[in-house]
Amino acid sequence: MPNSTQFKNKNVLITGGSGSFGRAFAKYLVENTDAKKVIILSRDEWKQWEMKQSDPAFSHPKMRYFLGDVRDKDRLIRAFNEVHFVVHAAALKQVPAAEYNPTEFIQTNIIGAMNVIDAAITTRVEQVLALSTDKAVNPINLYGATKLCSDKLFVAANAYVGAIKKPRMSVVRYGNVSESRGSIIPFWKKLLAEGVESLPLTDPRMTRFWITLDQAVEFVAQCFNEMRSGEIFVPKIPSLKITDLAEALAPGFPTKICGIRDGEKLHELMISSDDARHTIEMGNHYVIIPEAVTHDLNALAQFLDGREAHFMPEGSSYTSNTNSDWLSVDQLRKLIKAK
């Protein structure tokens, strides 16, 4: 686990806190830190009730449950009162749904992001980390476009905080989380339990990055400790072939090619060649620095603050199909069984 002392006696609020990541991060805070309060903000009272009943950690005295929608800025201002850290995990995410309901995704993912920023500035929250997605890089669907816009908003918002320099706002970007709600493994497991004759496979060429929920939680906690302001954090994680994932889950089981979905990519892209020009490599992750910082040597030196870093090679990118780290079928099988 990363250093968790930054949460000592702090109040931490998670928007979309009753979702997969929110639950995992809340449990981490309760069990591994000395956070004063852990506040779940979400719009579904039933999910909050289910969450509270599902694990003793979620009924801990430091847990709080706050009904609210990121579309409601006044409610956010009330919720952010006396909050030190905010994790912005609330979003509409289903790619096909976005194509048919674009205004709803814009209201939550873009206007909601603006409301989180405004509320955080108004209440002088100390730090805000917004969760992003690989789909925000060179987006080909509306969901990705809304998340790209959200990322830009959080990066640019640091110019509006004033002389107090609070809050500091940054972004964490990673791909699909293994076994999270709506991901491929739970879907395939459900089909196998129902007795299907073959597993649907979109395209045998498809590759994806692999990150577990626990790894995502640890990385976000690490980023809170490292963030300056305006950067986008990208973890170094292994890739997999979708065919290997199917073989690991159901060895020898037939598959059926169903075709790639509208708005879906063959490979995940987390750092584009354009972003690589102002991306540095730091240990177990990359950091996409605001372009204005990279163009100013004094600002860059202040940003690095003595930390050793290396810029990515010009024209390079970070994609799931060109990754140097791959998971084998045996490794995938062990990871799936460990869940």
Instruction: List, for residues 135-167, the tens digit of each pLDDT value.
Output: 999 999 999 999 999 999 999 999 888 766 789
pLDDT tens, position by position, 311-320: 899 889 999 9
Provide the pLDDT for residue 257: 92
Provide the pLDDT for residue 127: 97
Most confident range, picked from 7-11, 201-205, 289-293:
7-11
Locate 149 and state its tokens: 């816009």
- Residue 191 CA to residue 93 CA, distance in Å, equals 22
Provide the pLDDT for residue 62: 97
The domains of the chain, with CATH numbers, are: 5-175+212-231+280-308 (3.40.50.720)
- Residue 268 CA to residue 262 CA, distance in Å, equals 15
Q: E strands of the chain, at which residues?
A: 11-15, 37-42, 63-67, 85-88, 127-133, 168-174, 199-201, 207-209, 232-235, 239-241, 255-257, 269-271, 279-282, 285-288, 310-311, 318-319
Q: Which residue type, as a one-letter code, is found at position 277? A: R
- Residue 265 CA to residue 203 CA, distance in Å, equals 10
Has residue 1 got a pLDDT over 70? no
* Active-site annotation holder among 10, 135, 166, 241: 135
pLDDT tens, position by position, 52-104: 999 999 999 999 999 999 999 999 999 999 999 999 999 999 888 999 999 99
Mean pLDDT, the chain, integer: 92
Mean pLDDT of 8-33: 96
Which is higher by pLDDT, 82 or 299?
82
Provide the pLDDT for residue 85: 98
Provide the pLDDT for residue 320: 96
pLDDT band at 283 (very low <50, low <70, confident <90, very high): confident
Provide the pLDDT for residue 293: 84
Q: Which three-class secondary structure state does DSSP give residue 20?
A: helix
Q: Which residue type, as a one-letter code, is found at position 304? A: L
Provide the pLDDT for residue 338: 65
Is 241 catalytic? The answer is no
Provide the pLDDT for residue 310: 87
Mean pLDDT of 332-337: 87
Has residue 134 got a pLDDT over 60? yes
- Residue 209 CA to residue 184 CA, distance in Å, equals 13
Closest CA to 115 of 171, 165, 74: 74
